[in-house]
Amino acid sequence: MMIFFRSITAFVIALWVITASAGIYVDKVDHPKKVVVLKIEGRIKYEDDLQFQKVLDEIRSDGYKIKLNSVVLNTAGGSPSAAIAIGKIVRKENLNTYVGPKNHCGSACIYILSSGIIRMAYGEVTVHRTTYEDGYPTEKLEKSLKQTDVDNANHLFEMGMSAQLVDAIRMTPNYTNWKLDEKEKRRWGVHGTERLYEELWFRTTAKAKFYDTDVVRDFFYKFNNKCNKMAKEFKMTMFDCVRAEM
């Protein structure tokens, strides 16, 4: 599969073409400030984290910004180890994650989605246990299963997810899926914001606007519906929307 920089207008403009195993796409947006949409689509494969980091480096070296600072996800999953490695890059780079209303984040995708600073999970999110290929040695399965459970859970906890999400993954057989409903997304942290970022945002915004922090929270209540709609449509994050309304 290829990585393309594509215009979202009727004309497709190829800026860079790089071979990749996963569908890591960078779409150029017609915008004077040089904005791109960064996407992960298709199956996530081993060492795709290396390609993901390479793409990030090229976006920045060429002077582009990522729209909403977000990784757009539409993938049924793949390699958990690669997804966790990508997730660690997402968190290290302070990126957000977004699953559109008509898109799907399944299986290993959860390890990327959960890593966003701001996590906008408006589409379908499904999870299940790790799946092993037929060729994996039977004698190594027991040790590998235990270690995989530990590694996966540690990543999710590190990203601020709840124990309920970890349990849902562990208890759901790999031949089926647990589809998170809207309440579970929010209660388990899948649709939400990294706590330190949120706290610092309220404080720095209040200081910049010469408001008390409680006043800034009131703006969130007041413009919640409007700004949630903007985030769902991938136009602005909730935080950028609220700031614009202040």
pLDDT digits (tens, 9 = 90+) for 189-212: 999 999 999 999 999 999 999 999
Q: What is the pLDDT of residue 46?
A: 87
Q: For 9-52, what is each residue's pLDDT tens digit?
A: 322 223 333 334 458 888 877 667 799 999 999 999 988 999 99
Alpha helices in the chain (DSSP H): 48-61, 80-92, 110-113, 141-158, 163-171, 182-187, 195-209, 213-222, 224-232, 238-245
Give the whole-angstrom CA distance, residue 224 versus residue 59: 32
Q: What pTM does this model have?
A: 0.89
